[in-house]
Amino acid sequence: MALIEVVDVAKSFPSRHGTIAIMDDISFEVADNDFLAIVGPSGCGKSTLLRLLQGLDHPSAGEIRFRGKRVTEVSHQMAMVFQNFALYPWLSVNENVAFGLTSRGWSKEKIDAQVERYVSVTGLVGFEEAYPRELSGGMRQRVGLARALAVEPAVLLMDEPFSALDPLTAESLREEVLQLWRDPGLPPEAVVLVTHNIEEALLMADRVIVMSRRPGRVLAGVIVNLPRPRDRKSAAFYQLTDYVYSLITEGSTGSHSATLKESKPSAAVSGGTPLASSAASAAGAESKPLR
Ligand code: ADP
């Protein structure tokens, strides 16, 4: 059974001009050990979709299941990392990381040990007593990551986690997140990364869900079979980036499904479920499990 099932989900919000459809007909699955990225233009509903996955908001139609059970309330099996870090400015690094643990009824010793572990794995040793305002963006995002990992979630949800960082910091943090992900001794079991950055999605994920402009629909599921560490200068990487880019731009014309099926027959698109990537296999990439 898939860890998460998204089945025919639609979401709309009321507005002054009537109801606005944000996304429609969204279906995909997240399996154990999946590193899934969701890409699409700004405003296509990616962040909203993450909120729906965690149960912070509810679909207008369709349903989301976690381990076979419909998500009807906030899931504590999932933790979110935010673009703007969302730290509590009045709390120290240690206190921010401990925040999600305080409601668990754990002893102080157990919380302290957990905080120490995740402060350490995210490279924050020496900064335990610092406040967010004293930290660089990269360090703040480490705190966001430590706080999310400390609850040992089954699914880590990441909402544009590198977008607010300078390019070099973003690059090194991406690599560190992948290293943490590769460590079988650490949570989570799956990652869902939302990004508008196609390169970032293809550098990090095993599968990429490509969404259209609003109302967001699944244009394709792309399996990224490129070997790791991924070389963004390789022909195969370039080809795949170009392919995803063209999916989004073609999709925005409103003729995506016909175009897709005609022009990329082996990039299988079936009911929104990711199947295969023609571009990766055409480029001679091999399948390589991440963990
Ligand atoms: P993305 O992450 O792809 O940029 P979002 O999920 O943030 O897109 O937003 C999609 C659209 O939904 C935006 O136009 C946004 O203004 C709208 N939206 C998001 N949340 C709400 C809400 N609670 N009420 C009304 N509109 C919303």
Per the domain annotation, does 157 fall within a domain? no
CA distance 224 to 248: 17
User: How many structural domains compose the chain?
Assistant: 1
Per the domain annotation, does 240 fall within a domain? yes
The CA R_g of the chain, rounded to the nearest whole Å, is 19
Per the domain annotation, does 67 fall within a domain? yes
- Mutation choice for ligand 1 from 11, 19, 22, 51, CB with most ligand atoms inside 8 A: 22
Per-residue pLDDT of the chain (291 residues; tens, 9 = 90+): 899 999 999 999 999 989 999 999 999 999 999 999 999 999 999 999 999 999 999 999 999 999 999 999 999 999 999 999 999 999 999 999 999 898 888 899 999 999 999 999 999 999 999 999 999 999 999 999 999 999 999 999 999 999 999 999 999 999 999 999 999 999 999 999 999 999 999 999 999 999 999 999 999 999 999 999 999 999 999 999 999 999 999 875 433 333 333 333 233 333 333 333 444 443 333 333 334
Summarize pLDDT for 190-246 with one digit per residue, the tens.
Answer: 999 999 999 999 999 999 999 999 999 999 999 999 999 999 999 999 999 999 999
Which ligand 1 atom is at minimum distance from the Cα of 20?
Answer: 26
Rounded to the nearest angstrom, the distance between the alpha carbon of 108 and the centre of ligand 1 is 39
Per the domain annotation, does 58 fall within a domain? yes
41 Cβ closer than 6 Å to some ligand 1 atom: no
> What is the span of the domain harbouring residue 243?
4-77+189-283
Per the domain annotation, does 71 fall within a domain? yes
CB-CB contact of 36 with 210 (8 Å): no
CB-CB contact of 269 with 261 (8 Å): yes
Per the domain annotation, does 245 fall within a domain? yes
Summarize pLDDT for 9-21 with one digit per residue, the tens.
Answer: 999 999 998 999 9
- Residue 47 three-state SS: helix
Per the domain annotation, does 138 fall within a domain? no
Residue of minimum CA distance from atom 1 in ligand 1: 43
CB-CB contact of 144 with 87 (8 Å): yes
Per the domain annotation, does 107 fall within a domain? no
**CATH code assigned at 218:** 3.40.50.300
Rounded to the nearest angstrom, the distance between the alpha carbon of 23 and the centre of ligand 1 is 10
